[in-house]
Structure formats: C-alpha cells, structure tokens
Amino acid sequence: MKLPVISRNVSGLTFRAASGRRREDGIAVIVVLALIVMVLLFLMGNVRTFYSLDRELKLLEKQQVRRLQVKTSLVITNAATPTNLPAVRP
C-alpha cells in the first residue's frame, strides 16, 4: 500500500495520490470482476446439472412405478387363476 505524497505549496500542504496507486486500484477492480464472473459461471453450471438430475430422477421414478405396477398385476392375475392341482380327498 502506497501512502499519499505530501507536497508543499505556497497556500499550504496538499495531498495527492501516487501515480501507481490508480493502476493498482484499476487492476484490483478487474481481478474482482473476473472472480465474480468465474463464481457465476460455476453456479450456472451447478444449476443446470441439478435441473438435469431432477429430470432424470423423475424419469427413473416413472419407469420404476410402471415396472412395479406390471409385476403386481401379474401376481394378482396368477393368484386368481386356478392351478391344476389334484383334488384333496378327506
């Protein structure tokens, strides 16, 4: 950090910033803006990934519900049909 330069005028003391200070401030602003852009890009990628995962999860859930409904209907149908077992005599 550079300290302000003190110069003596006829009217009194005046303070002025060193010339390198303005360049440092400008570069710091550019670096901070670049970091903010990088963080926003990262967040956008994460939101997109979560959206894709949510759609895929819903699709898998629908497929599993259909698969389980088919299996339970087969079990109920098989249980309702008579089998060819020999008759039990008392």
Mean pLDDT per 10-residue interval, the chain, length 90 residues: 60 59 82 97 97 97 91 72 62
How much is the pLDDT for 4?
Answer: 59
The CA-atom distances, in angstroms, between 69 and each of 6, 19, 42, 60 are: 85, 76, 41, 14
How much is the pLDDT for 90?
Answer: 59
Residue 44 lies in a domain: yes
The CA-atom distances, in angstroms, between 32 and each of 10, 23, 81 are: 41, 14, 74
Domain span at residue 51 reads 20-78
How much is the pLDDT for 74?
Answer: 74
Residue 90 lies in a domain: no
Instruction: Assign 8 to helix, strand or coil.
Output: strand
Residue 14 lies in a domain: no
**Residues 6+ away with beta carbon under 8 Å from 6:** 13, 14, 15
How much is the pLDDT for 76?
Answer: 74
How much is the pLDDT for 52?
Answer: 97
- Count structural domains, the chain: 1
Q: For residues 4 and 84, give the distance between their C-alpha atoms in angstroms, rounded to a whole number.
A: 103
